[in-house]
């Protein structure tokens, strides 16, 4: 746990560290590689914009998160559990309990929405 406050800079650190974990994860890496390949810079920048919009209200992100993800093929319930576990680990290492909980609550809501879209129900537990 850290004293890191939620700023664009701390969100950039979160995104960089989290997706570094994703890129080395044996379950998630192939899914991301299929869609992103080696062109990570635009995705990372977009994720910083997304989380800045969600957590700071910056309105930098424009897009359809749900529609973009629903277009992906081959998504399995265990991908959500792994994604959430890696995200929680990264957030817990960077932010105090209050801010970490805020990030994680949002991540679980997003995951739940996407899981309902893919599978008709939520397969991962809420923190």
Q: For the domain that residue 46 is a member of, what is the CATH number? A: 1.10.490.10
Answer yes or no: is 124 within a domain. no
37 located within any domain: yes
Average pLDDT for residues 5-32, to the nearest whole number? 96
Structure tokens at 17: 């560290």
Specify if 2 maps to a domain: no
- Examine residue 126 and state whether it is found in any structural domain, yes or no: no
Lowest mean pLDDT among 17-31, 82-96, 112-126: 112-126
Task: Flag whether 1 is in a domain.
Answer: no
Does 3 reside within a domain?
A: no
Residue 89 has pLDDT above 80, yes or no: yes
125 is a domain residue? no
Residue range(s) defining the domain that contains residue 78 = 8-119
Q: 56: which residues sit within 8 A by CB, 6+ positions away?
A: 6, 7, 8, 11
How far apart CA 38 and CA 22 sit, in angstroms, is 13
Count of structural domains within the chain = 1
State pTM to two decimals: 0.90
């Amino acid at each position: 746990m850290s004293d890191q406050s939620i700023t664009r800079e701390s969100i950039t650190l979160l995104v960089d560290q989290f997706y570094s974990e994703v890129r080395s994860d044996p379950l998630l890496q192939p899914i991301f590689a299929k869609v992103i390949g080696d062109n990570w810079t635009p995705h990372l920048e977009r994720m910083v914009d997304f989380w800045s919009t969600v957590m700071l209200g910056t309105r930098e992100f424009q897009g359809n998160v749900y529609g973009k993800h629903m277009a992906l093929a081959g998504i399995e319930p265990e991908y959500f559990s792994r994604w959430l576990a890696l995200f929680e680990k990264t957030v817990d290492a960077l932010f105090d309990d209050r801010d970490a909980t805020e990030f994680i609550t949002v991540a679980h809501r997003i995951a739940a929405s996407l899981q309902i879209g893919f599978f008709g129900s939520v397969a991962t537990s809420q923190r």
